[in-house]
Amino acid sequence: MAVAGINHINIEISAEQLLKVKAFYEDVLGLKPGFRALSKRDGAWLYAGDTPVIHLSVSEDWMNKTDKIHFNHVAFACTGLAEFMVDFSKKNIPHTLEQRSLADREMTQIFLNDPVGIKIELNFAGETLS
């Protein structure tokens, strides 16, 4: 028995936030909308390749919850650090950068927040800015 990796992250949002949050993940991270299983609630599934990694779920009682967010951040394995940096500059996306050495490999991490405050970590193994 083993966990193979992240299947998806579910983000619960209000109806008013749906388009803004969906556009963020499409425009900033390049995720693509795709098939979504039938549900009683509105929402969207956003794909990295063939995997629906972000599930957006509209909940009308979301604002009444005292614990609106149940996790600290979501991390993605990425490639194309330089292209991300150019894109973030063009779109004026606030972010922070960290260079790390993990075992025998260099890694660059970018940290940013989505429109509802969820922290996003982008990991670029073997890529550094020169």
- 56-94 pLDDT, tens digit per residue, is 989 877 666 666 654 567 888 888 999 999 999 999 999
Residues 117 and 85 in one domain: yes
66 inside domain = no
The amino acid at 103:
A
Domain final residue pick, 35, 61, 87: 61
Helix (H) / strand (E) element for 75: namely strand 73-77
Average pLDDT over residues 9-30: 92
pTM comes to 0.75
The whole domain housing 80 covers: 71-130
Domain final residue pick, 61, 88, 113: 61
Lowest pLDDT segment from 46-55, 96-105, 111-120: 96-105
Residues 1 and 51 in one domain: yes
- The structural domain count of the chain equals 2
Q: Measured between alpha carbons, how far is 75 from 110 in angstroms, rounded to an integer?
A: 10
